[in-house]
């Protein structure tokens, strides 16, 4: 199925103020990759405070941003 998230929403979801900003996530694939990695670690269901739903949303954001940047993230 096709992702149902806009690129802006995906960038906002993985961004963390002070570390990764949405505009940077949209403009630089390396920043996007780092932001996604950090978001995955924070939301992973096996970690305290993580959840399967949040992790699934991060994976959807990864697919949207990978398509936006034209690279694998």
pLDDT > 80? residue 3: no
Helix (H, G, I), strand (E, B) or coil at 71: coil
Both tokens assigned to 45:
């269901």
Q: Using one digit for the tens of pLDDT, what is the confidence trace for 18-42?
A: 889 999 999 999 999 999 999 999 9
Rg (CA), the chain: 11
Nearest to 10 by CA among 28, 36, 45: 36
Note whether 22 and 11 are within 8 A (CB): yes
pLDDT band at 73 (very low <50, low <70, confident <90, very high): confident
pLDDT of residue 17: 82
pLDDT of residue 4: 80
DSSP notation for 41-58: HHH-TTSTT--HHHHHHH
pLDDT of residue 2: 54
């Amino acid at each position: 199925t096709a992702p149902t998230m806009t690129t802006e929403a995906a960038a906002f979801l993985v961004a963390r103020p002070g570390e990764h900003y949405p505009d940077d996530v949209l403009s630089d694939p390396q920043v996007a990759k780092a932001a996604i990695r950090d978001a995955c670690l924070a939301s992973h269901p096996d970690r305290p405070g993580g959840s399967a739903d949040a992790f699934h949303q991060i994976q959807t954001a990864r697919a949207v941003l990978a398509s936006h940047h034209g690279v694998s993230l």
